[in-house]
Amino acid sequence: MALMLLFTGCSVNPVTGENELSLIGESQELAMGAEQYKPTQQTQGGQFYIDPELTLYVREVGNKLARESDRPDLPYEFVVLNSSVPNAWALPGGKIAVNRGLLTKLEDEAQLASVLGHEIVHAAARHSVQRMQKGMLINVGMAGLGFALSENEWAGLLMGGASVGAQLALAQYGQGDELESDHYGILYMKEAGYDPQAAVELQEIFLRLSEGQQAGFVDGLFATHPPSSKRVRENSKLVDEIGGGGYRGADVYKKKTATLRKVQPAYEAHDQAMKLASEGDMDAALKKINRAIEILPREAMFYALRGRIYQEQKKQTRATEDFEKAVSMYPEMFMYRIYNGLNALKLNNLSKARENLARANDVVPTSIAFLRLGDVAVKENKRDEAIAYYSKAAESSGDIAEEARRKLAALTR
């Protein structure tokens, strides 16, 4: 009991002023967010580098709201991610991300402010920290390296901290947290000069879309921030109390998202190509991805997918060229490094395989990269190195862990 008391603390929630259990202190909270921000961005699509101005704009709006929050001194950061899934998330410590797939659904800056204000409250009120303490984080499903519609397929391959970050980003908040985030988010909007009615409208739109079960929304925003008629009612009541009216910024929002809307057909073609590839129709998928590349030749993601399609079609040289291109356009992105590394291993280019897989692991450690680094080491007759890599992969689960354990047993026999 004494031991329990030693490790159990109580603290006042900085947003609501209520007493709550506090097992994870503020320095730990901030460290977690800071460490997991970059890997979590990458597992959720990576940065939308095509339009850096857009991230500056989102940051500007986010900072306006953060200044009005109950924890203005958190090290807030805002980024736009390269994902069509309409979603937004917040890691502890104010590390926030919004997907381009959500930005295309919004009409003005006040609506954007309502999304960001809501996420700021999740971070400021320590919602995900509370859920972690209660052991309520979802177990992100098993993975494969098949074609899939979302980046979530990576979740089951992630190791260590990167997997915690993904769980935090994909965790479903309870209705209580959602109502709290709406409530204080609306107050922050009002303080920052935005029309809080925009938050009510947005919830109405989301509720309608969720009732229509719009594809994409189901595994995006609705899964993590479930809409409800109660949210619409409560928000509407609050706005009546504090008074609507204020800045909307429809023209500014249209101008700032002009590039995004212009290149949108390219991402639609990419998403169709992904769907066709996952259904096994590689010829049709190739046509679609070529269309995407024609519209937006600067997008690394398109070459990564085309490389995988070429691989399926046994066009090895072309696949290699495309993976190289994806890596050269976005060298930090772990996913492109993995594709490039696995491809190089298949071609027995060991040094290239090792470099790419190791660099992928530097940013986002995955079981598949550890396993294949072990294979590279075996081919290079580096027994100790192979054992170290296989041991690491064996800590994961599923087929990859099994293969690693088998190879480990063969080496240590």
- Give the binding range for Zn ion (CB under 5 A) out of 5-13, 96-104, 217-225, 349-357: 217-225
> Contact between 222 and Zn ion (CB under 5 A)?
no
By CB under 5 A, residue 173 contacts Zn ion: yes
- Quick one: 99 or 396, whose CB is closer to Zn ion? 99
359 binds Zn ion, rule: CB under 5 A: no
Per the DSSP assignment, residues forming a β-bridge with 139 are none
Question: What is the nearest approach in angstroms of Zn ion to the Cβ of residue 89?
Answer: 9
Is residue 38 part of the contact set for Zn ion (CB under 5 A)? no
What whole-number distance in Å separates Cα of residue 265 and Cα of residue 291? 9
CB of 122 to Zn ion, least distance (A): 6
Q: Quick one: which segment of 37-45, 169-177, 204-212, 321-329 binds Zn ion (CB under 5 A)? A: 169-177
Q: Could you say whether residue 71 binds Zn ion (CB under 5 A)?
A: no
What is the distance between the alpha carbons of residues 351 and 356, in angstroms, rounded to a whole number? 9
| Ramachandran sector of residue 12 (left: φ over 0; alpha: ψ -120 to 50; beta: rest) | beta
CB of 170 to Zn ion, least distance (A): 12
The residue (of 36 and 87) whose beta carbon lies closer to Zn ion is 87
78 binds Zn ion (CB under 5 A): no
Considering only 60-68, 178-186, 251-259, 354-362, which stretch makes contact with Zn ion by CB under 5 A?
178-186
| Residue with smaller CB distance to Zn ion, 175 or 351 | 175
In degrees and rounded to multiples of 5, residue 410 shows phi and psi of -65, -35
- Residue 29 corresponds to which tokens in the numbers above? 């909270």
126 forms part of the interface with Zn ion (CB under 5 A): no
Instruction: Kindly state the number of chain residues that form the binding site for Zn ion, as judged by CB under 5 A.
Output: 4
Burial 315-336 (b: 16+ CB within 10 A, else e): beeebbebbbbbbebbebbbbb
| Stretch (H or E) spanning 184 | helix 175-191
Interaction of residue 225 with Zn ion, rule CB under 5 A? yes
Is 128:168 a contact under the CB 8 Å cutoff? yes
Q: Shortest Cβ distance from residue 124 to Zn ion (Å)?
A: 13
- In angstroms, the CA 378 to CA 407 distance is 10
Q: Tell the smallest beta-carbon distance from residue 224 to Zn ion (Å).
A: 7
Q: How far is the CB of 42 from Zn ion (least distance, A)?
A: 22
223, 224, 230, 234 alpha-carbon torsion, rounded to 10°: -150
State the number of CA atoms in the 13 A half-sphere of 326 facing the CB: 27
Smallest distance, Zn ion to C-beta of residue 171, A = 10
- Name the residue among 143, 153, 140 with its Cα closest to residue 399: 143
- Indicate whether 334 belongs to the interface with Zn ion (CB under 5 A): no
Would you count residue 100 as binding Zn ion (CB under 5 A)? no
Please choose, from the candidates 155, 151, 159, the residue with its C-alpha nearest in 3D space to the C-alpha of residue 141.
155
Residues forming contacts to Zn ion in the complex (CB under 5 A) are: 173, 178, 181, 225
